Amino acid sequence: MTSVNEISVVPPMTAAGAEVPATREATAGGIPGQPGAITEPSGPPAGTCPSALPPPGGGPYLNPQLYAVLVHRFGHVRVVNKGQPMVVGIATINDRPSPDVRSPGETYKICCPWCHDFKFHFRVAHGFGTVHAETGRRIYYARCFRCEKGGRDLFELLGQARLGRVALPAPSPLIQPQPEDAYRTPGDCANLLDPMYPGAAKACTYLAGRGLDPKFVSEVYGWRYCWRGDPQTMHGGCAGRIIMPVTRDGVEVGWQARLAYDPPQDRKDHDFTAIRWLTMPGTGWRSKNLIGYDQAKAYEFCILVEGPTDMARQGPPCIGSLGQTMSHAQFELIASTWGTGKGVIVMGDAGANEDRVVAKTVHELRQRCTCPVWAPRLPHGDPGSWERREFMQFITAFVSANPRGTVHDEAQVAG
């Protein structure tokens, strides 16, 4: 039994007393003069003690000491949501209070030392390593989104002695709960098929090139084209993007925004104008919902895929998890909707790490559902690269050959 009492730390203030807005991902390739642009340091001299480092370029950060430790150990560090505070709740798990990070706020991205990542998949919250004042327990909020190594692994790698020499800031004073998942509009949008907007036509061309029918995704999923971004949301960065809404019982609770083209390889995901995917700020809404849920809930079974394009290529009853890993609330939503129906089908791409993720997902669903749970593995590509007819034929054949569902051994589930 888990109960959560959400709280929030005091938002950082500017010199004028105004709250600092949530910012985009800031990298060394950011746009000069844009809010949140940061010039990253090249790293400290070899052997320099992190606590003796001068303030890093582009600071101040919410936890400059932790930032310095990461720069000293890993060289290059990127910053996400600079200046945004961490939102922490108290979760009672097995009758013991524990810190429950609802939104990590300012986050430092590094290349994972375990899976030889070079795209900064390892994220470290600025509160990492600090002791939560209300529960007295340390916060280990950090994770690689590629190999799933976590905060405790990083804590052991850095060593308590190294962290102990760095004076991590005390938790900020607590204030009354604030809504962390208030809906934020991406900006002014138009129908994808509206001829008045040339950008919408380009978006349709892009979607068609990905095997997606612009009319289908517009009418069934409500996808639209943002021709003018809201300056209060990611500094207007949704302009020129395809908006993919997430709805729950007919209400739009969030969205993801995709560039209407593929940027050059040397710029891809390196500066703000070339970040392919943007997601509405806030983490709670995403962990509680599934994209495509409203369109699929009328079916007696569902097909779980990872992203919006996979879901839209195959259509209902596909649903998207909005990420590689899933939350307790998402598992419960699937179980309550389809858990007593004909079955749940979990799709994954090829790869050893993907197999571990799928195995864990199947394990969690089998604990909650009375129906069979299947995990067919596509022989090539991902669901977004298959024609719907061939995709459904493959799934039908797999289900027929395995009527009781897929079973993974415990070693595979443990990863």
Stretch 320-335: mean pLDDT: 89
Query: Of 284 and 303, which is predicted with more confidence?
Result: 303
The Cβ-side half-sphere exposure at 241, using a 13 Å CA radius, reads 27
Q: Could you say which DSSP state residue 385 is in?
A: G
Which residue shows structure tokens 């102990």? Answer: 164
Q: Which two three-digit tokens encode residue 290?
A: 């599934």
* Separation CA 189–CA 213 (nearest Å): 19
> Which of 328, 270, 244, 234 is closest to 24 using CA atoms?
234
What digits encode the pLDDT tens for the residues 332-371? Answer: 999 999 999 999 999 976 554 567 888 889 999 999 999 9
* Separation CA 377–CA 347 (nearest Å): 7
Stretch 15-42: mean pLDDT: 34
Stretch 372-397: mean pLDDT: 92
pLDDT of residue 319: 97
Stretch 172-200: mean pLDDT: 75
pLDDT of residue 166: 36
Stretch 277-295: mean pLDDT: 88
For residue 23, pLDDT over 90 is answered with no
Domains (range + CATH), the chain = 3-175 (no CATH), 182-289 (3.90.980.10), 294-415 (3.40.1360.10)
What digits encode the pLDDT tens for the residues 250-266? Answer: 999 999 999 999 888 77
pLDDT of residue 93: 67
What digits encode the pLDDT tens for the residues 140-179? Answer: 889 888 887 888 888 888 875 344 333 333 434 333 333 5
Count of other CB atoms within 10 angstroms of residue 216: 14
Per-residue confidence at 181, pLDDT binned at 50, 70, 90? low
Mean pLDDT of the chain: 77
Q: How many degrees, rounded to 5, is the angle at CA 167 between CA 162 and CA 172?
A: 135
**φ and ψ at 405, to 5 degrees?**
100, 180
3-state secondary structure of 352: helix
Q: Among 127-136, 291-300, 371-380, 390-399, which is the least confidently predicted range? A: 127-136
Alpha helices (runs of H) in 291-385, residue ranges in sequence order: 293-296, 308-314, 328-338, 352-368
Q: Among 93-102, 213-222, 308-317, 373-382, which is the least confidently predicted range? A: 93-102
* Separation CA 197–CA 34 (nearest Å): 26
Burial of 198 (C-beta count, 10 Å sphere; 0-12/13-18/19+): exposed
pLDDT of residue 393: 95
Q: Which two three-digit tokens encode residue 59?
A: 């600071």
Q: Could you say which DSSP state residue 98 is in?
A: E
Q: What is the DSSP string of 5-22?
A: EE-EEPPPB-TTSPBPPP
Q: Which two three-digit tokens encode residue 393?
A: 């034929």
SS (H, E, C) 235-282: HHCCCCEEEEEEEECCEEEEEEEEECCCCCCCCCCCCHHHCCEEECCC
* Greatest mean pLDDT among 27-31, 212-216, 399-403: 212-216
* Separation CA 291–CA 234 (nearest Å): 21
Stretch 81-103: mean pLDDT: 79
pLDDT of residue 148: 76
With pLDDT > 90 as the criterion, what percentage of the chain qualifies?
Answer: 38
For residue 38, pLDDT over 80 is answered with no
pLDDT of residue 173: 37
C-beta separation of 408 from 362 below 8 A:
yes
